[in-house]
Amino acid sequence: MPRSVTRARLAAFCLALLAALPATAAPALKRGINFEVWQTWTGRDAFLAPEFDRGNFPDWMGRIDDRQLASLKAEGFDFVRLNIDAAALLWAGDDGAGPLIGRIVAATERLQALGFAVIVDMHLLPIDQERPDGLQDVLGTDDHAPILWDRYLALVTRLAGRLAVLPADKTLLEPINEPNQDWGSYIALADRWPDQLAALREAARQAAPTLTLVLTGGRSGGIDGLARLDPVPFADDPNIVWTFHYYDPMVVSHAGRPWVDDPGRYLTHLPYPASQVDEAGGKQLLRAARSRIAREVADPSRRRELDIAVGEALDDYRTSEAGPATIAADFQRVSNWAAENGVPPERVLLGEFGIFQDEADPASRIALIEATRDAAEDKGFAWAVYSAGLTSAGKGFAVIGDDRSLTLEPKVKAALGLGDK
C-alpha cells in the first residue's frame, strides 16, 4: 500500500478520534514577542561542519540566562513565538533531527518555566545560495518541485509528538512560516494551499490530537492569503489559532534593508503617516536616495533604473494615504473573515509586525508600531512583535534596547502599550 494512502487513512482516524475527545482550551494569547531564527546567521555548510555546536540550538540558549528572560517577561509579554530554522532539521537528516527536536523542546520548557506560553514556529525560509532546502522545495513554488514535502510532513509529525506532552495551556505549534503558495492563482478554487495546509494539520494530528496549532493562509501568510482561505474544512478542530503577518506600508517598515537591491534599499527615513511628506520633504528624500544610489551602484544602467524607481516609489507612498486608518481598514478585513466563519477574535493572531530600524525615521518607527498594535487590540487579536533582538539591541527589527538586561526601548514599550502593564 502506498505511504500516502496509509498516511491519509491514519490522519482520518486521528481526526475522528479528535472529534470524540473533549476540547482542550487553547492557550490564552495576548501580547507576544518573536525570538529570531538565528542570533548568528548560519548557512547549511556552517551548520553541517564538524565544529558546529548543535547542542546550542536554538543558538540563543547558550547566550541568554534565565535572569535576562525573566526581565523580558516582566516587560509585559505573556508568550514567545519561538522561530526555529526548519531547514536545519532537514539538513540534519532523519537521525540528526531527533537531538535538534530535543533542543527545541528544552528551549520551550525553559521559557514555560518562566511563565511564557510558547508558539514553536517552524520558520521555513525561501532558498538562497547558502541555505538550500527551503520553502520552494517543500511547497513546490517558484517552478520548483515539492521534493521535500513528504520529509517535511514527517518532521511536523515528530515535533508535534514531542510537544504534545507539554502543558496544553502553554504550548502551540506553527507548522510553517509565511507559505509562498498561490501568488499566481487568480481564483481561490484553483489555490493549492488549502490542501497543503490540511496535510500539515493532519501530519500534526497523527501524533498530537489536541495540541493547539497556529495556521495561516497562503500568499506568504498575509491578509490576502487568510481572507481567501475557507476555514470550514478545519471547523471540526477546536484547537486552532489563525494567524497573519502585517508590515504595511512596506516602504516604511522595510526601508534600507541591505539584503534586497530594490528602491526601498535607497529610499529611507520616510515620515509616517504618509500625509507628513510635503513637497519640500519629498524632494529632500529623493535627493538623499539618489545620492546613495550614485555612491553604491556602479552600473550606469542600473543607476538610471533606480533613480526613476525611487521617484515612483515615493509618489506611490504619498498617494497611498498610509496611516492608522488604512491599517484599521486592513484589519477590518480580517475581522470580517473571522466573523463570517465563526472564528472568535481571540483565536486570531497578528504573528509578526515591526520595522527595520537601521534606516528608519525614529518617530515613524514608533508611530507605525503603535498604530499596528492598536489596530490589532481594537479587533481583539493577540499580537507578537517582530523581533526581540536578544543579542543585537538597537539593530535590525530589534525592540530590545539593552541586550544585557533584555529590557525594551522605553518608546517602543509605550508604543506596545506595555508601559502600565
Tens place of pLDDT for every residue, the chain, 421 residues? 344 334 444 444 444 444 444 445 679 999 999 999 999 999 999 999 999 999 999 999 999 999 999 999 999 999 999 999 999 999 999 999 999 999 999 999 999 999 999 999 999 999 999 999 999 999 999 999 999 999 999 999 999 999 999 999 999 999 999 999 999 999 999 999 999 999 999 999 999 999 999 999 999 999 999 999 999 999 999 999 999 999 999 999 999 999 999 999 999 999 999 999 999 999 999 999 999 999 999 999 999 999 999 999 999 999 999 999 999 999 999 999 999 999 999 999 999 999 999 999 999 999 999 999 999 999 999 999 999 999 999 999 999 999 899 999 999 999 999 976 4
Compute the chain's Rg from CA coordinates: 22
Q: Are residues 359 and 287 in the same domain?
A: no
Q: What is the pLDDT of residue 25?
A: 63
In a domain, residue 383? The reply is yes
Q: Are residues 129 and 71 in the same domain?
A: yes
In a domain, residue 17? The reply is no
pLDDT by residue (tens digit) across 264-281? 999 999 999 999 999 999
Strand-pair category, 400-402 with 407-408: antiparallel
Q: Are residues 57 and 133 in the same domain?
A: yes
Q: How far apart are CA 21 and CA 287, in angstroms?
A: 64
Q: Which of 320, 340, 356 is the last residue of a domain?
A: 320
In a domain, residue 148? The reply is yes
- pTM for the model stands at 0.93
Alpha-carbon separation of residue 255 from 87, 290, 363 (angstroms): 27, 14, 14
In a domain, residue 114? The reply is yes
Q: Are residues 313 and 327 in the same domain?
A: no
Q: What's the CA dihedral at 101, 102, 107, 113 to 10 degrees?
A: 130
Q: Are residues 136 and 42 in the same domain?
A: yes
Q: What is the pLDDT of residue 10?
A: 43
Q: Which of 320, 338, 368 is the last residue of a domain?
A: 320
C-alpha closest to that of 130 among 32, 24, 28, 48:
48
Q: What is the pLDDT of residue 313?
A: 98
Q: What is the pLDDT of residue 315?
A: 97
Continuous H helices in 24-169: 44-48, 66-74, 86-113, 135-139, 149-163
C-alpha closest to that of 333 among 248, 416, 276, 252:
248
Q: What is the pLDDT of residue 193?
A: 98
pLDDT by residue (tens digit) across 23-45? 456 799 999 999 999 999 999 99
DSSP 182-234: -TT-SSGGG-SHHHHHHHHHHHHHHH-TT-EEEEE-SGGGSHHHHHT---GGG
Host domain of residue 300? 263-320
C-alpha closest to that of 356 among 253, 282, 274:
253
Strand-pair category, 117-122 with 348-352: unpaired
C-alpha closest to that of 174 among 80, 62, 93:
80
Give the domain CATH number at 238: 3.20.20.80
| Distance linking the first and last C-alpha atoms of the chain | 57
Q: Which of 283, 302, 320 is the last residue of a domain?
A: 320
Count Cβ atoms within 10 A of the Cβ of residue 207 and give its class: 0-12 exposed, 13-18 middle, 19 or more buried.
Answer: middle
Q: Are residues 333 and 308 in the same domain?
A: no
Grid cell listed for 253: 517598515
Q: Are residues 337 and 298 in the same domain?
A: no
For cell 547549511, the residue is 44
Q: Are residues 303 and 356 in the same domain?
A: no
- Taking a C-beta distance cutoff of 8 angstroms, is the pair 239, 211 a contact? yes
- Taking a C-beta distance cutoff of 8 angstroms, is the pair 310, 293 a contact? yes
Q: Are residues 94 and 117 in the same domain?
A: yes
DSSP state of 305: H
In a domain, residue 18? The reply is no
Q: Are residues 123 and 229 in the same domain?
A: yes
- Taking a C-beta distance cutoff of 8 angstroms, is the pair 119, 80 a contact? yes
Q: How far apart are CA 43 and CA 343, in angstroms?
A: 39
Q: How far apart are CA 383 and CA 226, in angstroms?
A: 16
Strand-pair category, 31-35 with 348-352: unpaired
In a domain, residue 16? The reply is no
Interaxial angle between packed helices 66-74 and 86-113, expressed in degrees from 0 to 180 and rounded to the nearest 10: 80
Return the exposure string of 237-255: e unless at least 16 CB atoms fall within 10 Å of the residue's CB, then b.
Answer: bbbbbbbbbbbbbebbbbb
Q: Are residues 273 and 334 in the same domain?
A: no
Q: Is 73 helix (H, G, I), strand (E, B) or coil?
A: helix
Residue 218 has, within 13 A of its CA and on its CB side, a CA count of 24
In a domain, residue 256? The reply is no
Q: What is the pLDDT of residue 22?
A: 46
- Taking a C-beta distance cutoff of 8 angstroms, is the pair 119, 81 a contact? yes
Number of domains observed in the structure of the chain = 2
Q: What is the pLDDT of residue 403?
A: 87
Q: Are residues 180 and 87 in the same domain?
A: yes
In a domain, residue 75? The reply is yes
Residue 2 backbone dihedrals phi, psi, to 5 degrees: -60, 145
Q: What is the pLDDT of residue 420?
A: 61
C-alpha closest to that of 86 among 40, 116, 47:
47
